[in-house]
Structure 1
Amino acid sequence: MEMESGAIDKICELRDEGAREKIGDLTFVRGEMKPVFFAPRPDPVKISTLTGLVAYLEKNIDEIKKPELMLHVEDVKRVSLVSKLCGINRKRDIFATATVDEKLQEYPFERYMVVEEFVIRLRSMFQLNPDLERIIAYTSNLSSGMAVQTQDDGISQTLTVKVGVTGALKRTETAPVIVILKPYRSFRELDQVESNFLFRIRTDEDGKNPVCALFEADGGKWRNDTVLNIKCWLEGAIKDIAIIA
């Protein structure tokens, strides 16, 4: 037996009415008894740089009240401009977010790669410092066809490099184990945070070519340092807004 459309509508209406209950000026959802609010909020402006976030604040196109704002450094790649607690539901408006562009490449740690690729990535994905120059100069002297054997005492790596067709010629070189580098891992306006890395060299699986890798060796401390670095940068660029990190 088919049910008339009017009856179906009435059932739906009764169901919806039963799902909510009005107490005073507030409407609650039955079961969880959570109040239902209509509190429209702005869509945040999406920005990819810290300088863009500063420009948004300086221009103040949306005429927001700066004393009621706060910059929240959420992590090494995201900063949000938020309001104080507002409205009957006591939530914060998010006016803008600055997020590092996902298209910006970062160095692939814990991955061995041939010398040419290794040097290219060092030059393009790190800020220049003495240890970077040192590693580039060292690895640039390695080439395909060189078989290497390493001994590690925790301070340096001793490499025995076999050269020539027969490998009869050998030379011994010393490479650092721990290096201090400044990879791009946050907003590019910043002076990137230095941290320790484990530098490793070995021969590839075919035993024909030297390959190199870097491993993070600071226990993740760079993340905390970078958040504080972002806060310091913002404090130098903006004077009248609270900055929380």
Structure 2
Amino acid sequence: MLEAAINRILNLAKPNVDIYNDSVYSDKPLHRIDAELYAEPLPVHTLTSIVDYITNGTDDSDGCTDINRRFVIHVIEYNRVTLTRELSIDKRREQLLYATDDTQAFPYGRYLDVESFIIAMQAHFLQDDTTAALVKLVSSVTDSNSVQQTDNGLSQLVTAKTGIITCNTVEVPNPVLLRPICTFPEVIQPERSFVFRLRGGDNGVSAALFEADGNAWKTQAIQNIREWLNKAIPDEMKDDVIILA
């Protein structure tokens, strides 16, 4: 109890600062107090929110705006973008908005049963002729013995229904080009390359998609975000906004 009281008194005392060999020493840790106040960033989930914040003059009232410090939009990743101001006198960047896209991804690299695969294809991809063809093929495969093990790494042969009784052998081409929903909804979703595979087994036919572009789509998504922002920001305000991507 006595020791705690003594330590409390010592902590309340002013720090002693001395200089030895041109170096400054203190017997207590010192914390610098910023010259400016900083607000907590607002979490958002669209790029439109960032543009609205800038164009509507949000938080510009009551002398909150420093007209000498421009906005900085930093496209960190395909699903993360921040809005900050240029460096303050404290050499800090005040983060105003933090935008994230929480779109769930297709379960790549996993074999799914026919029903799960069809649902996932419709939920996670922009629909076009390629997705329609894959869904039609998977839904028409007969049974676990219909997937032929003729696979040269580029294509497979499968037996698919063409009517109530007859069946045809169909070649599955690879790679396939699809547009997964993988970044902010405002921008163009990058086209990506996938390897499509079918296989049979005791539990029936299953299908899978394997990523085949080495994650190059992430760079393309970042550039698509940049292009969208550059078009969305009014021309008269572009000198006040820096986009880093």
Same fold, judged at TM 0.5 (above): yes
1:236 deviates by: 0.8
Paired AA for residue 193 in structure 1: P
2:214 to 192, 216, 219: 219
Counterpart residue number, 1:17: 15
Paired AA for residue 235 in structure 1: N
Counterpart residue number, 1:237: 232
How does the TM-score come out when normalised to structure 1? 0.80
Q: How do 1:1-245 residues align onto structure 2 when only pairs under 5 Å count?
A: 3=2, 6-13=5-12, 17=15, 21=17, 30=26, 36-38=32-34, 39-63=36-60, 64=65, 65=67, 68-88=70-90, 90-100=91-101, 102=102, 104-143=103-142, 146-160=145-159, 171-204=168-201, 206=202, 208-238=203-233, 239=235, 240=238, 241-245=241-245
**Cα separation, 1, equivalents of 2:181 and 2:157:** 29
**Cα separation, 2, equivalents of 1:66 and 1:176:** 57
1:130 deviates by: 2.7
Unaligned runs of 5+ residues in structure 2 are none
The answer on whether the counterparts of 1:115 and 1:143 sit within 8 Å (CA) in structure 2 is no
Per-residue CA distance 1:13-47 (angstroms, 9 max, x = gap):
45x736xx489xxxx8859x987233531111211
SS at match of 2:206: strand
Paired AA for residue 71 in structure 2: L
**Cα separation, 2, equivalents of 1:161 and 1:4:** 84
Paired AA for residue 207 in structure 2: C
How does the TM-score come out when normalised to structure 2? 0.80
1:61 deviates by: 2.0
**Cα separation, 2, equivalents of 1:29 and 1:66:** 37
Aligned length: 226
SS at match of 2:74: strand
Paired AA for residue 50 in structure 2: L
> Structure 1 84/137 Cα, relative in aligned 2: closer, same or farther at 3 Å?
same
The answer on whether the counterparts of 1:143 and 1:209 sit within 8 Å (CA) in structure 2 is no
The answer on whether the counterparts of 2:73 and 2:244 sit within 8 Å (CA) in structure 1 is yes
Unaligned runs of 5+ residues in structure 1 are 163-168
1:60 deviates by: 1.4
SS at match of 1:140: helix
Seq. identity, %: 29
Paired AA for residue 242 in structure 1: I
> Structure 1 13/137 Cα, relative in aligned 2: closer, same or farther at 3 Å?
same
> Structure 1 233/67 Cα, relative in aligned 2: closer, same or farther at 3 Å?
farther
> Structure 1 57/194 Cα, relative in aligned 2: closer, same or farther at 3 Å?
same
Paired AA for residue 244 in structure 1: L
1:11 deviates by: 3.4
The answer on whether the counterparts of 1:29 and 1:36 sit within 8 Å (CA) in structure 2 is no
Per-residue CA distance 1:160-216 (angstroms, 9 max, x = gap):
579xxxxxx975221122100000111112220001001010013x2x411000011
Paired AA for residue 244 in structure 2: I
RMSD of equivalent CA atoms:
3.0
> Structure 1 200/10 Cα, relative in aligned 2: closer, same or farther at 3 Å?
same
The answer on whether the counterparts of 2:43 and 2:99 sit within 8 Å (CA) in structure 1 is yes
